[in-house]
Structure 1
Amino acid sequence: MSRLIADCLIIIFNDLREKASSLYSCILVNRYWCRTAMPILWKVPFEFDIGNWDSLSNRKLYNLIFYLLPTFSKKLLLDNNIELPTIQEFSNQPLFNYISFSSQVPPNFINNMINNLIKKEDGFNKYKETGKKYLLEQEIYKLFINNCKDIKYFNWQTTQPLSQFHGAPTCFSQLRSLIMDLDFVTSRELFAMSQICQNIEELSIFECYDDIPGLIWFIDTQKILRSLYLHFKSFEKQCLGLSEVIERKASTLRKFSIEPWIISLSPKFLPSLINLQHLELKNFSAFNVMDIFRESEWEVSLSLASFPNLQYLETVFLPFSIECDLIEKSNGNILDIDICRMCNQDPNYTKKLIKAISTNCPNIERLIIEVELEDLHGIKEILINCSRLIKLNLSINNEDELECDEILKIIVKFSPETLHEITFCANFIFTLDGLIDFFENWKGRKPLIFYNL
């Protein structure tokens, strides 16, 4: 019976997890409720950090963390002239090791804490300040890593050698989602962490700039990598080794995203992504002849690729016209399309793109696309053929500031019953009578969310 009561309480307390004040009230009922609710209350206690030392909640958190630091860590900090806050919030020893309940190692909270506690003083010395911050950061990370067990998500933005800290295998071995910033993370540390983390499913990498051996090895060791996001800081070098390791992970990859320069990565891996379901290609324009050559490599590789399971396609400023081919080879599985092209886009290609969507995307639910006033018949075909469409977002150039009421008439007459969210860019010009007629004719249908931005 007691086990049943405990299970019921855990279910109730988990439902209250996003209502911290209500959950906090539960721990005050009695000791049993306190022991049951406390791990849930402290599972994600750092999500609401506001980075302000003067806030009472932050002072309490900082004091608690310093209280829980091992004696040797406190001595190390004091020996290096790092003053610890006066702990006034605890009249007695804390009842729990609260850090051990946390499901996260919170880098933003740790950074804010360090910046709040290590401040410029008279006779400011930048090197001393940096040294103090590094030492304090080190001891706080050690505390978290030694106490947090089997975390599932981590945002890696520190130069600390995390893999060397006591408890790192227990803390990181079950990691499933990882964000890393290569401005902080070294190749050596990636080699070391690859011995601990081998089951990453979602990997996001910021500030890519070259074929880093440790990064390539880290990706290669992942057994179930399903999602890969790459953000490049430079387009000067093209990463071939990174492309090759992506090709080796192709059998498990379902989602791939790259920005802001696709030419930073060799495209040779693209034809291997036969199981891809989600593709994002976000790009800026070419800068020189070599960039144009690398863009042509991407165009050829994409033309050779086929993504029969593709459900989400997003492209931004691609320097070539390839979206039609990708859509036509998607076997009608696409649910979401978001295409943003250059301002001087080819009207003929826009018509071809609209035709490809109306013909090959019967299950599409969300569409963001740029059109011309001459494309209204194509929009009508999309509305007729895409019977599951829920959201429609249209952009237009309309330099001549022409009236656009005709598109409203087509939407109200031919749109499927599922459509209930419509967005027009500000270049769409509607008359008052056109809008009144539109909303009058929409009566009796599903309530509409309408934007003219």
Structure 2
Amino acid sequence: MVLDFNNYDNKKKNLLEQEIYKLFVSQCNNVKELNWTNSQPLSLFPGASTCFSQLHSLFIDPNSVNSNALYQISKFCRYLNTLIIYNCSQDLPELVSLIDSQRNLKNVKIYSDNDLRRNYKKLSEALARKSNTIKHLHLNLLTESPSLSLDNLTVLSISGWYTDDEIRGFQHYLSVLKFPDLQSLYVTGSIYTYDLATLIRKTNGNISRAFFNGINKEDIVILIHAIANNCRKIEILHMNLNPRRLILLLSNCKNLVEINLSHDYTDDDSSSGDDLLNILADYSPKSLTNITI
């Protein structure tokens, strides 16, 4: 059966959609994954507690979802492993309640609305209250809340382009930040290399994967030293790097398996291809088998 909503006016279309969703909610038990990006109040329909009580993964757009319905689902959806939030533009109490109600939340991804970014203090505090379970965290918003330290975090991903005020707030946050068990770090956007170096120095040396793309390259040497001295276990490294900066990394990071230099020829670089090959031949650990330039 093919349903074509294009020939219905909006009111009839909404009523038909609602009846279909009601039927789905009433007839389905123990749904494991939900992508909730429309205005239908799914958690308010009869049978919702049975349908969604065993959700493991929830993808949600709070700009589209009814706020009462979002608050209601937190009452019976308590076993999420993964929570992905799109278009997060403010500190919504419904999202805070949803996070607080979780008992085993491990993977959180929050994508902000870049045009409407506001303060996320309460959301940050809610995430911090789950520091004993959250292992993977992706943010494309920066928080200056010092409560966001997640001692058990193993994967951190930050992406986005930020104003000077947002970066200054993040710098203040970094002064008290610690991610001791961090193993993977993914950064895309306008974060300063000095701030990334500060973050890396506050780990316990367990980072095995690091990806840096589009970062502000001011003080790149500081970041290189931070990686070389604090990431001795690193296996995969992707970053924009002048080949003449390689020697320290190759000398200290003996577990490297893969390196992607993404070489920037705008950097002041007089080294030739032969020089690069000589550096790789003389300093590469035996484990290094995958090199991209």
TM superposition score normalised by structure 2: 0.89
Select the residue among 128, 132, 147 that pairs with 1:269. 147
Give the Cα separation in 2 of the matches to 1:384 and 1:266. Answer: 36
For the pair 1:118 / 2:15, whether they are aligned, the reply is no
Select the residue among 306, 311, 321 that pairs with 2:183. 311
The equivalences for 1:389-408 within 5 A come to 389-399=256-266, 403-408=272-277
Kept after mapping to 1: 8 A contact 2:99/2:126: yes
For the pair 1:278 / 2:155, whether they are aligned, the reply is yes
For the pair 1:241 / 2:241, whether they are aligned, the reply is no
For the pair 1:222 / 2:109, whether they are aligned, the reply is no
| Structure 2 counterpart SS, 1:203 | strand
Select the residue among 212, 228, 244 that pairs with 1:358. 228
| TM-fit CA distance, 1:342 | 4.1
Kept after mapping to 2: 8 A contact 1:303/1:322: no
- Which amino acid is 1:230 matched to? I
**Looking at CA atoms only, which structure, 1 or 2, has the larger radius of gyration?**
1
Give the Cα separation in 2 of the matches to 1:243 and 1:144. Answer: 34
Select the residue among 201, 204, 207 that pairs with 1:334. 207
Aligned to 2:45: 165
- Which amino acid is 1:285 matched to? Y
Give the Cα separation in 2 of the matches to 1:415 and 1:129. Answer: 66
Give the Cα separation in 2 of the matches to 1:401 and 1:381. Answer: 17
TM superposition score normalised by structure 1: 0.59
| TM-fit CA distance, 1:406 | 1.9
| Structure 1 counterpart SS, 2:194 | coil
Give the Cα separation in 1 of the matches to 2:49 and 2:253. Answer: 50
Give the Cα separation in 1 of the matches to 2:19 and 2:258. Answer: 49
- Which amino acid is 1:166 matched to? P
Identity %: 34
Give the Cα separation in 1 of the matches to 2:206 and 2:73. Answer: 37
Q: Deviations over 1:315-368 (max 9, x none)?
A: 22214622222222222210111123446x22xx22222222222222212111
Aligned to 2:135: 254
| Structure 2 counterpart SS, 1:150 | coil
Higher helix share: 1
For the pair 1:423 / 2:281, whether they are aligned, the reply is no
The equivalences for 1:6-17 within 5 A come to none
Give the Cα separation in 2 of the matches to 1:401 and 1:336. Answer: 26
Give the Cα separation in 2 of the matches to 1:420 and 1:190. Answer: 49
Kept after mapping to 2: 8 A contact 1:156/1:178: yes
The equivalences for 1:62-141 within 5 A come to 63=1, 114=3, 117-120=4-7, 129-141=9-21
Unaligned runs of 5+ in 2: none
* Closer/same/farther in 2, CA of residues 418 and 275 from structure 1, 3 Å limit: same
Name segments (4+ residues, structure 1) moved above 3 Å. Answer: 400-405
Give the Cα separation in 1 of the matches to 2:116 and 2:144. Answer: 11
* Closer/same/farther in 2, CA of residues 373 and 415 from structure 1, 3 Å limit: closer
Kept after mapping to 2: 8 A contact 1:173/1:196: yes
The equivalences for 1:375-390 within 5 A come to 375=245, 379-390=246-257
Aligned to 1:368: 238
Bigger RCO of structures 1 and 2 (CA < 8 A, at least 6 apart): 2
Kept after mapping to 1: 8 A contact 2:247/2:279: yes
| Structure 2 counterpart SS, 1:405 | helix
Kept after mapping to 1: 8 A contact 2:260/2:291: yes
Give the Cα separation in 1 of the matches to 2:117 and 2:60. Answer: 21
Kept after mapping to 2: 8 A contact 1:187/1:215: no
- Which amino acid is 2:277 matched to? L
Give the Cα separation in 2 of the matches to 1:191 and 1:255. Answer: 24
Unaligned runs of 5+ in 1: 1-62, 64-112, 121-127, 287-291, 425-453
| TM-fit CA distance, 1:241 | 1.9
Aligned to 1:90: none
| TM-fit CA distance, 1:391 | 1.8
For the pair 1:302 / 2:174, whether they are aligned, the reply is yes
- Which amino acid is 2:20 matched to? I
Give the Cα separation in 1 of the matches to 2:284 and 2:17. Answer: 57
| Number of positions where the alignment pairs a residue of Structure 1 with one of Structure 2 | 289
Kept after mapping to 2: 8 A contact 1:187/1:213: no
RMSD, aligned α-carbons: 2.2
Aligned to 1:441: none
For the pair 1:175 / 2:62, whether they are aligned, the reply is no
For the pair 1:414 / 2:283, whether they are aligned, the reply is yes
